[in-house]
Amino acid sequence: MNAIVPQHDRRVDLAIVGAGIVGLATARALLQRYPALRLAVLDKEPAIAQHQTGRNSGVIHSGLYYKPGSLKARLCVQGAAAMMRYCDERSIPYNVCGKVVVATSEDELPRLRELYQRGLANGIPQLELIGPERLRELEPHAVGLQAIYSPRTAIVDYGRVAQCYANDIRAMGGEVLTGHEVRQIERTGQRVWLETPAGMLETRFLITCAGVYADRVATLSGAPREPRIVPFRGDYYILKPEQRHLINALIYPVPDPAFPFLGVHSTLKMDGSMWLGPNAVLAFGREGYGRWDVNIPDLADAVGYRGFQRLARSYWQVGLAEMLRDWSKTRFVAAVQRFVPEVTAAGVVEGPAGIRAQALALDGSMVDDFVFHQDGPVIHVRNAPSPAATSSLMIGAQISDMAAESFGL
């Protein structure tokens, strides 16, 4: 790495790389705790929340899926309540529409009941295990042998939430600097230097929240590459108006416990539209939102990683099925027809896509929990997939605690 020549273009106490919802929530938490802190959030894009934050399903998750005692479980349950309080305070619309997780076959029933017990262990309020009759009351066109009903699951526009976080940061004296891609990082003594197209930035402390680029930004400061980020694309279809009546709110299948993905499901959006998805296929670029969006270096980085190769060897049949479903609307809709049989391929249109930044270990295992790593004057967020948006206020508080202890703020 070529040495950075310090130019003293600008100086702050603490810099945060990444103006997604986690980076912004972290900045907000730090400024609330330390009002005199000179803080700047940097992002390479011309506007905030351009990737995972602005391209997700918009669900305020209840905390149902996560291993009891894990960071995900604790921060999601606390974060969901905190998110709704924040939305109330800022007059951000949200909809407590509820959610059902439906078992459609006998072999799914043990996993559904295990999921229900996990939800109880996590302290999810008002959780119910319901039968077919109650399911039909909630979703008249749905079918299933048994279901979990989570009445407190909600939806929100996380892009709007992120914008409010940014407004809070500016109101407290912080800066949100878009168009500031961090190209190089060098640590010299007690200082950290960031090279951006807009010039040099000197900071005492650094926190990276770089999402799909988390591993690459971390290595710029000398951190290990693992866990490696492998991008997975998730596509959505949208119900046409003539079939919109078939689904009221959020309907999920029973997830495969081997994967952190939740399966193709229905998602009500704040504009009243109904999205179906996402699937989960290897993206051909870290910003490869389209099927034909190929970034050769990104793709080579993913498929050349031994961790991904081991994952692919172990689950090639699942991966092949996902790819076939990605290229066939009929196969995609068939996943929804398992719990809402009346939905048809003719009744949906293609929607947007998102990228999940999934951390993958060298042994081929998907890193399930949130991962934060501290190294001297730097804290890296190494893995923060769903439910990071739901948990963002609590993740911000958690990293603020780490910074207070590690940086001596």
Same structural domain, 198 and 241: no
> Residue 88: exposed, middle, or buried by beta-carbon count in 10 A (0-12, 13-18, 19+)?
exposed
Q: Look-up: residue for tokens 């090279």?
A: 195
Evaluate whether residue 81 is within a structural domain. Answer: no
Q: Contact at 8 Å (CB) between 211 and 380? A: no
Q: Do both 349 and 325 map to the same domain?
A: yes
Tokens of 42: 């940097």
Copy the structure tokens of residue 115: 């999921």
Residue 86 counted as domain residue: no
Residue 144 domain-assigned (yes or no): no
**Mean pLDDT value of segment 62-84:** 96
**Residue length of the chain:** 409
* 44 assigned to some structural domain: yes
The string of pLDDT tens digits covering residues 347-364 is 999 999 999 999 999 999
Three-state SS at 329: helix
In terms of domains, do 38 and 169 share one? Answer: yes
Q: Tell me if 148 is assigned to some domain.
A: no
User: Of the residues 321, 340, 360, which one is the last residue of a structural domain?
Assistant: 360
Q: Give residue 264's domain range.
A: 228-360
Express as a percent the part of the chain with pLDDT over 90. Answer: 90
Nearest to residue 154, comparing CAs of 211, 87, 108, 217?
87
Same domain flag for 185 and 220: yes
Distances (CA, A) of 86 to 53, 93, 156, 164, 321: 17, 11, 12, 10, 40
Q: Are residues 190 and 234 in the same domain?
A: no
- Going by pLDDT thresholds of 50, 70 and 90, the confidence category of residue 315 is confident
Three-state secondary-structure class, residue 182: coil
DSSP 96: -
Residues 168 and 255 in one domain: no
What residues form DSSP beta bridges with 193?
186, 202
337 and 234 both lie in a single domain: yes
Contact 149, 158 (CB under 8 A): no
- Predicted model pTM: 0.94
Q: Per the domain annotation, does 271 fall within a domain?
A: yes
* CATH number of the domain bearing residue 242: 3.30.9
pLDDT score, position 323: 85
Q: Are residues 333 and 235 in the same domain?
A: yes
User: Rounded to 5, what percent of the chain is helix, strand, coil?
Assistant: 35, 25, 40
One domain for residues 214 and 290? no
Mean pLDDT throughout 320-334? 90
Please give the tally of structural domains in the chain: 2
Q: Is the pLDDT of residue 214 over 80?
A: yes
Burial (0-12, 13-18, 19+ Cβ within 10 Å), 137: exposed
Annotate 248-317 with DSSP letters as a single string: -SEEEEPPPTTSS---SEEEE-TTS-EEEE---EE-SSTT--STT---HHHHHHHHT-HHHHHHHHHSHH
Please choose, from the candidates 318, 306, 303, 298, the residue with its C-alpha nearest in 3D space to the C-alpha of residue 212: 298
Could you tell me if residue 122 is inside a domain? no
| Inside any domain, residue 239 | yes
- Considering only 31-45, 60-74, 194-208, 305-319, which range has the smallest mean pLDDT? 305-319
Q: Domain check: are 183 and 320 in the same one?
A: no
| 375-393 mean pLDDT | 96
Task: Give the sign of the dihedral formed by CA 111, CA 371, CA 48, CA 152.
Answer: positive
Task: At 124, give phi and psi (nearest 5°).
Answer: -75, 130
Q: What is the DSSP string of 129-157?
A: EE-HHHHHHH-TT---SEEEEETT-EEE-
The pLDDT score that the predictor gives to residue 240 is 98
Shared domain for 263 and 387, answered yes or no, is no
How far, CA to CA in Å, does 23 sit from each of 36, 210, 255, 325, 379?
A: 19, 8, 29, 34, 12
Residues 385, 353, single domain; the answer is no
Which of the four pLDDT bands, split at 50, 70 and 90, describes residue 6?
very low
Cα–Cα distance for residue pair 265/343, rounded to 1 Å? 12
How much is the average pLDDT of 323-342? 94
The Cβ of residue 96 has, within 10 Å, a number of other Cβ atoms equal to 12
Task: Provide the strand spans (E) within 18-56.
Answer: 39-42
* Domain harbouring 205, CATH code: 3.50.50.60
Phi first, then psi: what are they for 132, rounded to 5°?
-60, -35
